[in-house]
Structure 1
Amino acid sequence: MSKLPHITTSIFSVMSKMASDYNAINLAQGFPNFPVDEKLTNIVARLAKEDVHQYTPMSGYSTLLSKIATLIQKSYNRIVQPENELLVTAGATQGIFATILALVKTNDEVLILDPSYDCYESPVLLCNAKPVRIALNDDYTPNWERIEKAFTSKTKMIIINNPHNPTGKILNKTDFEVLEKLLQKYQDVILLSDEVYEYITFEEQHISTHSRKKLLNRTVMVSSFGKSFHITGWKVGYLVAPEFLMREIKKVHQFMVFSVNSISQIAISEYLDLVLVDELGSFYQQKRDYFRKLLANSRFELMSCEGTYFQVVSYAAISDENDVDFCKRLITEFGVAAIPISTFYADGKDLKLIRFCFAKDNGTLEEAAKRLCGI
């Protein structure tokens, strides 16, 4: 008997397979197709011949943990203890799974804001806990009144994703002030803050939970080197949490993966001395602006994009089809793959919106836009 009876193949896998089957341009799955920084690949090439191929400590390669602590201090002026408050994970998803499995118990409730990334719900269900899905406003801002009404005596955790996938929205100062007041009322609720796109924001600066002192002692932060350094296939992320929470997370982590692959950890630890993460936003803003310019004369309506490398568009002026069917036809008839936003909602809410990934080389964006403008 299935423990996850309603979970089927991920929409990302479905659309990527269709893109491959129909030789379509894949703007669906969130992975870059341009080269990795040569400085990083040179480090890997050298390390491959060195003695770096055995287990690292369970929490992570010690030098990398120290470099992460330095990165957090430089980025957010927060001091963390590498040995007690950091954990290197096999990608952000594994970090999220380990966190939920460690901290959520049977019959607990976990608040998830829709549209939401599809990895949040499954570990909650595997804990025999209850995911409580709460829709954002149609402009993808939080509806704090609706969120507050969802809190009960059983609420154990609330998950936020900032910058937000799939919509590209970011939380503002007022959002955090309201969240802080809300969590003051519910002292036992843990905040899981998924910030894997933290360095990819544009006109407005990203406000991280790292910078909110009132939240630090109850927050598990999720970050991703895969997203930041466009090395998604490496599957290396990290968690930041107060020691009393991290102690429990590590108990689960050690039996999920024990430790993350060694060569990638050592390579990233060296690379952090050579890269400026605060330049990532301007790099991806150029991509965003170019893609938006290419689509300016299309029939798609471009939604705002404040962060991430995703552009949401409305196709309401083109078709009355539901978004899943429209995305499938977009592949089979026009050769471009996208992700339907309804699949990020518990109730399949369909606003005639789809998501494109613009983390692609300019040639790919140009050919995709040519096809999209022909619709």
Structure 2
Amino acid sequence: MIRPADRIRRLPHQLFAGLVAKIEEKRRQGVDVINLGQGNPDQPTPPHIIEALKAAADDPAYHRYISFRGLPALKAAVAEWYRERYGVTLDPATEIAILIGSKIGLEEVSLALLNAGDTALAPDPGYPDYWSGIALAGAEMRPWRLDPAAGFLPNPAEITEDIRLAFLNYPNNPTGRMAPPAFYDQVIERAVKTGTVLAHDLAYGDIVYDQKTAVSLLARPGGKDTGVEFTTLSKSYNMAGWRLGFAAGNATVIRYLELLQDHLHCSQFGAIQAAGIAALKTPLPLIEEVRNLYQARRDRFISSARENGWEIPPSAGSIFLWCPVPTTKTSWEWAELLLEETGVMVAPGTGFGESGEGYVRIALTEPEDRLALAAQRIANRLLQPI
């Protein structure tokens, strides 16, 4: 009998793989599923990025192995992007790492920094892949509860001397909430006192609503000294399938990440990195179009839900809505029931941690009319007797 390694046994349930399997089964049965369970952007990648890929794919230099640590030109483009977006100055050679999607970097940071028996803080509710990296490192994950009464912010005082690594994520997945600059300052102050490394997931930094602006950890005093920030091209540029992102910040942590990647990867295909340069140079009006698209979808879903008696707090950012459901059933039971009876797939709140009970997450990754229909179906079912 072939037995898995202990690290495989430690891995948490992969929420999104399970959701995809359920959707595929329903579609095989002929059900027109409205998939609001995955944060998978539905819009095409902008043409200028595709053209950059096509041109680079003809370059024989990218047909061979390139530098394990990525294209220097892409690192320079990332540094310029940070300077323009957040006023942050970065050394491209030492303070930026190229990632095959930010998801893998968010797991690699645990492998690079944690030993067996170490403790890391992860948001609860939060993105499940934080847990995966901690588990693979053999470390212990301590839930860092996002308090609804505090705007879904965690308590900075929970960063104690035994915490080696703490994950942050704003705009937040799954709650869609934002964090003010003062919160980052409190977290940085605690991290300095405790020697904790901060890992900030800024995947949705461009997807913010109602004239708000996301905060970069690296733009706050001491932020670059205490941690690293992970960003992806998947959401802002509709490049989820391209698998390209980057980490930026503390030079020591970046060095450890790149050393680990020297052993795990041969870097992303150079032509994709060349296209990434074109993406990072995208004019801001095109980014605003993406933001406006999701805000219109958010507003349409909330309006349709309200018309049918279901009140949902508006998200401030990300491509998600964090929606309360009756506690007569668990969030998993609601997700399964809604798929069975309405044909709408949602993500159960406890798929993001125990504190997610009482909620489901809605991804705004369908056209407005489909979202309005889904909101109507869900609301009608939620209000029926159990």
Given the two structures, how large is their TM-score scaled by the length of structure 2?
0.88
Q: Which runs of 5+ in 2 are unaligned?
A: 28-32, 382-386
1:253 corresponds to: 261
Matched to 1:320, the amino acid is: T
Q: How does 1:100-249 map to 2 (within 5 A)?
A: 100-139=110-149, 140-144=151-155, 147-149=156-158, 151-152=160-161, 154-186=162-194, 188-203=195-210, 204-249=212-257
The C-alpha deviation readout for 1:104-145, integer Å capped at 9, x for no partner, is: 22322111121111111222222222211121213452242x
1:87 corresponds to: 97
- Contact 1:19/1:335 (CA < 8 Å) preserved in 2? no
Q: Does 2:325 align with 1:315?
A: yes
Q: Does 2:344 align with 1:340?
A: no
Look up the SS of the partner of 1:112 in the other structure: strand
2:378 corresponds to: 372
Change in 2 beyond 3 A, CA 1:104/1:8: closer
Moved more, 114-123 or 55-64: 55-64
Change in 2 beyond 3 A, CA 1:338/1:130: same
The C-alpha deviation readout for 1:75-100, integer Å capped at 9, x for no partner, is: 01111111111111011111112221
**In structure 2, C-alpha distance between the alignment counterparts of 1:92 and 1:114, rounded to whole Å:** 20
Q: Does 2:364 align with 1:358?
A: yes
Q: How does 1:255-294 map to 2 (within 5 A)?
A: 255-276=263-284, 279=288, 280-294=290-304
Q: Which runs of 5+ in 1 are unaligned?
A: none
Look up the SS of the partner of 1:36 in the other structure: coil
Look up the SS of the partner of 1:329 in the other structure: helix
**In structure 1, C-alpha distance between the alignment counterparts of 2:309 and 2:281, rounded to whole Å:** 45
Change in 2 beyond 3 A, CA 1:209/1:181: same
Q: Does 2:14 align with 1:10?
A: yes
The C-alpha deviation readout for 1:180-222, integer Å capped at 9, x for no partner, is: 3322321x21111111111111122211112102221121110
1:50 corresponds to: 59
State the 4+ residue runs in structure 1 displaced beyond 6 angstroms.
none
Look up the SS of the partner of 1:3 in the other structure: helix
Q: Does 2:72 align with 1:62?
A: yes
TM-superposed deviation, 1:374 = 4.0
Number of aligned residues: 367
TM-superposed deviation, 1:34 = 2.4
**In structure 2, C-alpha distance between the alignment counterparts of 1:252 and 1:7, rounded to whole Å:** 20
Change in 2 beyond 3 A, CA 1:325/1:6: farther
Matched to 2:36, the amino acid is: L
**In structure 2, C-alpha distance between the alignment counterparts of 1:189 and 1:274, rounded to whole Å:** 35
The C-alpha deviation readout for 1:130-165, integer Å capped at 9, x for no partner, is: 211121213452242xx524613x321111111110
**In structure 1, C-alpha distance between the alignment counterparts of 2:271 and 2:145, rounded to whole Å:** 41
